[in-house]
Structure 1
């Protein structure tokens, strides 16, 4: 856990600051196949290693939305507000996938708290999140998740 605070009021001085980096998570073929089964997205660049070897990436790659879905467990490592009863996803401001995630890659998220505003029952947080690949030159996902922390 990179940042731990007691109350929502303790978040105010953190606006504009980095919340650190999560641990690395490996993206193996089993994870990709499981995501493909769950979503019905069986495109060969994700699920057919033999065919993907001759494809544009030389191997299978993770679905962009699989990469995005990792934002929640990785983000959960970065901020804990002890007196919050629940946290909910409110939406996304923007999402881009600048680079692929080849099978066998490790990814992590870095995040900056960029916005904080009161809402009924709590606070809305806007985050600039970057998912990077170990050894990659470009981010694999850039997103602006919006969360509501409720007391």
Structure 2
């Protein structure tokens, strides 16, 4: 019996490790977001909203819930796994969305202190190449590469 229990514990532990590092996409088009919570259940407090199309890294699973790290904000918490779609690979495509002025500056580095390369207008596409905090290095549809704030990019 002791051997069976140890084998079962090892199997459960190994299954949990299989989820670590798995990229998923928030798939909640109905209300446009998925709640990130402090624990694995709807009774736990909401940390933040993760918007439809944003990416998460699955750290572990507990039943129908996954502990994830939200790629856009770095926040870690629990999300209902049903609303996390598999990421099929490839480079995530995003679109510029800056409602205030209609454009987003593409810069030479990850911060507002860097030189502006060009304006990227709402609806133009970018591919994410790298991330540093809330800044991403992107390949713009024009062929230009640079940095911009991830909070003005949408799927």
Structure with bigger gyration radius: 2
The structure showing larger relative contact order (alpha-carbon pairs under 8 Å, at least 6 residues apart) is 1
Tell me the TM-score normalized by structure 2. Answer: 0.30
Tell me the TM-score normalized by structure 1. Answer: 0.31
Which protein has the bigger strand share?
2
